[in-house]
Structure 1
Amino acid sequence: MPESIGTKKIIQGEDIILLVDEKTTLHATSHTLKVDLEMKELRTKDTNGKEKAPGDISWSVDGDGLVVLDDSIENAHSSEDLLGIVLSKKLVDVVIKSPLTGLAKMYTGKAYITTFSLSTPAGDNATYSYALTGSGNLTPADNPQP
């Protein structure tokens, strides 16, 4: 739930979720959305210096989670599921959204899981990390409110 400071609501990380093929990632600890706008350089014989113009947009999502065996959670990808998606080279549907009232947009697109890593340090929690690389547009849409 968001933290309130006066009339402001501070959104917590757990208030924004990532869905891969309509499922969350099991015991996720973080997600990072990155959107890049390529800048093309324009230079002619009539200009001094380089001018810039917008080009293509690329996007990606990085995620981390704990490796947990938890049969009580339905509709979630385990770390093994994510590795299986990488190995199958499957194009997945991605949705980034929040169930909170006031966050009016959600973002959808298609992506490949292009990186998966498993960390198993002695005496500590096993964790996994992955990266999704967008294929095509990341599209904003109205976020249906609960």
Structure 2
Amino acid sequence: MAEKKVIQGEDIIVLVDSKTTLHATTHNLKVDLELKELRTKDTNGKEQSPGDISWSVDGDGLVVVDDSIEDSHTSEDVLGIVLSKKLVDVVIKSPLSGLSKTYHGKAYITSFSLGAPAGDNATYNYSLTGSGNLSPQDATQQQS
């Protein structure tokens, strides 16, 4: 019998243009299916039909300056992407074995917020809004 394992939040990461966000604390993926209402003169009630899918990712992190860490976006980088209106590549994945899918898509960073409370850590959060499909890819396809 297979052993169950609860996946921890730090086991799932989001990459933006092949880089993680530095000192991320949370990521939230949201996928919505639009339902289209179908109603005709000869039906008793409303029926639903699937329409478009939209997706987004919200992320939070600590504002940290650490020149020793490569391959990560700083909060300043994330703000720069918003200001440049750049379409970015997004990958949602886990480095754990047994999680066989990653999800790929294109998105815009549509919001950025910086929190700097007195006596506490500076934090930032951002939202990515998908542009097009969020597509699953098997781990075996990723190797090629």
**Does 2:110 match 1:130?**
no
- The one of 86, 89, 101 equivalent to 1:90 is 86
Residue 18 of structure 1: aligned partner: 14
What are structure 2's unaligned runs of at least 5 residues? Answer: none
Residue 34 of structure 1: aligned partner: 30
56-65 or 135-144: bigger deviation: 135-144
Residue 70 of structure 1: aligned partner: 66
**Does 2:103 match 1:102?**
no
Residue 115 of structure 2: aligned partner: 119
The alpha-carbon deviation at position 72 of structure 1 amounts to 1.3
Runs of 4+ in 1 over 2 A off after TM superposition: 143-146
Q: TM-score, normalised by structure 2?
A: 0.95
Q: Report SS of the residue matched to 2:34.
A: strand
CA RMSD of aligned residues (A): 1.4
**Residues 42-78 of structure 1: CA deviation (Å, up to 9, x unaligned):** 0000101100000000000000000001111100000
**Residues 8-67 of structure 1: CA deviation (Å, up to 9, x unaligned):** 111000101100000000000000000000000000001011000000000000000000
Q: TM-score, normalised by structure 1?
A: 0.94
**% identical equivalent positions:** 79
Q: How many residue pairs align between the two structures?
A: 141
| Letter paired with 1:15 | D
| Letter paired with 2:97 | T
**Does 2:138 match 1:142?**
yes
